Structure 1
Amino acid sequence: MLKAVILIGGPQKGTRFRPLSLDIPKPLFPVAGLPLIQHHIEACLAVKDLKEILLIGFYPPSQIEPFINDVQHYYSVNIRYLQEFTALGTAGSLYHFRDQIRFGNPHAFFVMNGDVCADFPLDDLYEFHKSKGDNALVTVMSTEATRQQSLNYGCLVTDKTTHEVSHYVEKPSSYVSTLISCGIYVFSMEIFQAIGEAFNVKQQEYYRNGNGNKAGYMQLEQEILAPLAGTGKIFTYQVSRWWSQLKTAGSAIYANRHYLQLYRNTHPERLAHLHASGDQNPHCHITPDVYIHPTAVIHPTAVLGPNVSIGPDVVIGPGVRVRESIILANAHIEDHSLILHSIIGRNSKVGKWARVEGTPSDPDPNKPFAKMENPVLFNNDGRLNPSITILGCYVSVKQETILLNSIVLPNKELSRSFKNEIIL
């Protein structure tokens, strides 16, 4: 028996994802038609003998449990949400809920960061972990980055023959290695002894010094993985498949593209082909890959794609062109508008002959590693310069206006054109 733990954080996290996370919890943001963590769940379903998935975070249950109740109806494994009483950190949350993880005596368990997007090779990861024998406490899924990119992630130094991790540094200040952690792990159950020892040390320091740090807060990377490096108990499984993190809205568009491409092999029925599926959209022109929710209404003269996701109850009018974008639920794109490299929030409206456009900031898609650019840059004069364009929920863009490289917070009505602005 196996289990999986998906760490989803809480509302205080994911601030770089705003304004999209102001009305939708970041783990439930739809990418390629599915909430982000539903991609994790579907990857877990493909693992033989995996019987339970635990979501751990500090979102209010009212924000997460409706999603769980929905997916539980058509997935065969048990899915539960465990709410932290406060932010405990990645290791602290595992230790706090150790009894729920160990219940049923699983042989091992996966841990997946909720903001990771990937073609999850969980079966291969687990088989590799088993091949390392009883001494292996943890196997870290890893991938190659550039020297500059590696400074933003956990870096691993490994033995090329045994794949044992000899050194681990989280977000180093100088170059360590181009091999980085993907935030996906498989743990043997004995890991709780190592976490417990670290927890006891931290408790003693807290009560001895009274330094104000939370006694139960522990980070998996710095306080567990780094000390285990070089002990013969931590290994890495390197992958060359697509992987990225959903830190910014720009990374959401990049992830949307790759999940749509994965659907070709895994779920071709989800993709809209030459014509959009359903009686409501009999002749819409599609340039693959495109996802269209069955309840969306698309005019026959609209042109969608490539790499477009259309959410529930979206209305797209005559002559509309949408490319490299995500249109969220209940949005209305009126006649002859153009949407490029943008995310249109829930219940937003783009008027006739309007142009909403961003600037792509992602890397060469043929590279295995996704460079995640911050969607807000600075000009030479210090002014903010967003890259992709984002409309929060309930935003109205008047007809015949142009919105370029801008971020618009919710509930705004734009009556003129904007460029390189953050509209508060």
Structure 2
Amino acid sequence: MLKAVILIGGPQKGTRFRPLSFEVPKPLFPVAGVPMLQHHIEACAKVPNMKEILLIGFYQPNEELTRFLLNAQQEFKISIRYLQEYAALGTGGGIYHFRDQIVSGGPEAFFVLNADVCSAFPLKEMLSFQKEHGEPNSFVILGTTANRKQSMNYGCIVENEQTNEVLHYVEKPSTFVSDIINCGIYLFNPDIFQHIGTVFQKNQQDMLLDYFSCREEPTNGWHRAEAIRLEQDIFTALAGQGKLYVYKTLSFWSQIKSAGSAIYASRLYLNQYHTTHPERLASNMEGGPKISGNVYIHPTANIDPTAMLGPNVSIGTGVTIGAGVRVRESIILHGANLQDHCCVLNSIVGWDSTIGKWARVEGTPSDPNPNDPYAKIDSETLFRDGKLTPSITILGCNVTIPSEVIILNSIVLPHKDLNRSFKNQIIL
């Protein structure tokens, strides 16, 4: 019996995902036509003997999240529950807080997945790897390779090349350590809670020392002891003890930290649909728009047959696209209206937004090789130090772009009615 835990974070996180996270919790943002979380749940549901999927985070339960969970349970025929943290407890603190729920029923092992990653999710391969490498009680990190500069934005893994044991782990080092990086997807067994519990007890002791030395009550109370990070607090200590192993995937992987990186993730998933969901990919049909490359179109969208879409385009529910419109490398969200002959390139068009006739909405992402759908891109470079070059253009919900203007490399917050062109700006 297996379980899976998906760490979905909460509203204090995901600030780099604004303005899109204003309208929908980041884990429910549509990537390649379906909510980001659905890709995780679908992968978990395909694993044999998977009995339950637990979502852990500190979002308030709302109608949108509840409806998504009910629909996912019905579609994938598996128990899916949301466990709400009382505060942000970190990647280790959250699973430790709900350890009784995770181990109930006696799972042999459980996966832990960060919600803000895009991956082929080689979960079955990780299970096989665990049986072939290391002890039955070992823990497995999914890893991939990055270049020297990119690697320092992630957790870096030094492995024994013969056994794949993790010898050294450093989270976001200041100098180069290794080109093998942590993908934020793990395979644990219940023994992990002993290691997390050791850190929890040490945190409690440190709090008591602080209390008696300062004669003041710690401001964060028990929260401080329970806030535990798998990466810095657990993996760093486990490395070199013969208990932690890395399975390196050759398939695609990316983080979805910033709103801009959602377009890159959409491209990766759209390319995967050829093997997993060919029915989600649009094709050229008589009386339909011109399709180039991988394109997802929701059945409720209304698209003029003279429009040209693709490659790597996702069209949401109720979208209207007029005559002669060109869309490439973009996500068009629910209810958007792209009027005749406008052009949308490397952009996200928010819910119910309107782009006027002959207008141009364009971004210039940092992309190593646009012809290679699996070429690795560092999502951290898409939005750095508040500067938007290179970047993509993002329109929040209910934004109106007038006819015959150009919006280039800019972020437009919701409910804006623009009256001129903008370049390299955040429009508040």
TM, length-normalised to structure 2:
0.94
Residues 1:410 and 2:420 aligned together: no
| Conserved 8 A contact 1:243-1:370 | no
Letter of the 2:52 partner, please give it.
E
- d(CA) in 1 for partners of 2:368 and 2:49? 37
Find the counterpart in structure 1 of residue 214 from structure 2: none
Q: Which amino acid aligns with 2:376?
A: F
Out of 253, 267, 285, which is 1:257 matched to? 267
Does structure 1 residue 4 correspond to structure 2 residue 11?
Answer: no
Give the share of equivalent positions with the same residue, in percent: 58
**Residues 72-221 of structure 1: matches in 2 within 5 Å?**
72-132=73-133, 134=135, 136-210=137-211, 214-221=224-231
Greater shift in the superposed pair: 384-393 or 367-376: 367-376
Q: Deviations over 1:197-229 (max 9, x none)?
A: 111111111122136561110001111111000
Q: Partners in 2 of 1:299 and 1:190 — Cα distance?
A: 57
Q: Distance in 1 between matches of 2:138 and 2:209?
A: 30
Structure 2 residue corresponding to 1:239, chosen from 249, 267, 273? 249
**In 1, Cα distance between equivalents of 2:339 and 2:376:** 36
1:374 alignment partner, SS class: helix
Q: Secondary structure at the match of 2:149?
A: helix
On the 8 A contact 2:268/2:374 being kept in 1, the answer is no
Shift of 1:123: 0.2
Distance 1:386 1:348, change over 3 A: farther
Q: Report if the CA contact (8 A) 1:377-1:387 is conserved.
A: no
2:316 is the counterpart of 1:315 = no
User: In the TM superposition, what is the alpha-carbon distance from 1:366 to its structure 2 partner?
Assistant: 6.0
Q: 2:381 aligns with which of 344, 364, 374?
A: 374
Match of 1:342 in 2: 347
Deviations 1:394-417, CA, capped at 9 Å, x for gaps: 100011111111110001001111
Match of 1:37 in 2: 37
Aligned residue identity for 2:379: M
Distance 1:177 1:157 in 2: 6
- Superposition RMSD in Å: 1.6
Mapped partners of 2:270, 2:88: distance in 1: 33
Structure-2 residue corresponding to 1:28: 28
Return the offset for 1:135: 5.2
Paired letter, 2:350: G
Whole-angstrom distance in 2 between the partners of 1:166 and 1:383: 37
1:250–1:373 contact (8 Å) kept in structure 2: no
Give the whole-Å Cα distance in 1 for the aligned partners of 2:295 and 2:281: 6
CA contact (8 A) 1:284 1:299 kept: yes
Distance between the aligned counterparts of 1:188 and 1:338, measured in 2?
51
Indicate the SS of the match to 2:231: helix
Distance 1:376 1:161 in 2: 38
Cα deviation, 1:255-303, whole Å, max 9, x if unaligned, reads: 1111001001111011101139xxxxx4211112100001111111111
Which whole-Å CA distance do the structure 2 matches of 1:170 and 1:64 have between them? 31
Residues 97-106 or 361-370, more deviating: 361-370
Question: Do structure 1's residue 357 and structure 2's residue 358 form an aligned pair?
Answer: no
Q: In the TM superposition, what is the alpha-carbon distance from 1:134 to its structure 2 partner?
A: 3.9
Shift, 1:181, TM fit? 0.6
Change (3 A) 1:383 1:45: closer
> What is the one-letter code of the residue matched to 1:336?
H
Deviation at 1:137, TM superposition (A): 3.2
Aligned equivalent of 1:61: 61
TM-score scaled by length of structure 1? 0.95
Per-residue deviation at 1:377?
4.9
What does the per-residue CA deviation read over 1:62-88, in whole Å, with 9 as the maximum and x for residues that have no partner?
Answer: 152221112222111111111101111
Cα separation, partners in 2 of 1:87 and 1:422, compared to 1, 3 Å: same
1:367 shift after superposition: 5.5
In structure 1, the partner of 2:401 is 397
SS in 2 for 1:129: helix
Counterpart of 2:319, as a letter, is V
Q: Go from structure 1 to structure 2 and tell me whether the alpha carbon gap of 1:156 and 1:133 turns closer, same or farther (over 3 Å shift).
A: closer
Structure 2 unaligned residues grouped into runs of 5+? 212-217
Maintained 8 Å contact 1:386/1:420: no
Corresponding residue for 1:279?
none
The amino acid of 1:179's aligned partner reads: I
Q: CA deviation at 1:369?
A: 3.1
CA contact (8 A) 1:137 1:191 kept: no
Q: Return the alpha-carbon distance in structure 2 between the equivalents of residues 205 and 179 of structure 1.
A: 33
Residue 332 of structure 2 corresponds to residue 327 of structure 1: yes
**In the alignment, is the contact (CA less than 8 A) between 2:130 and 2:136 conserved in 1?**
no
Distance 1:154 1:377 in 2: 19
Residue 215 of structure 2 corresponds to: none
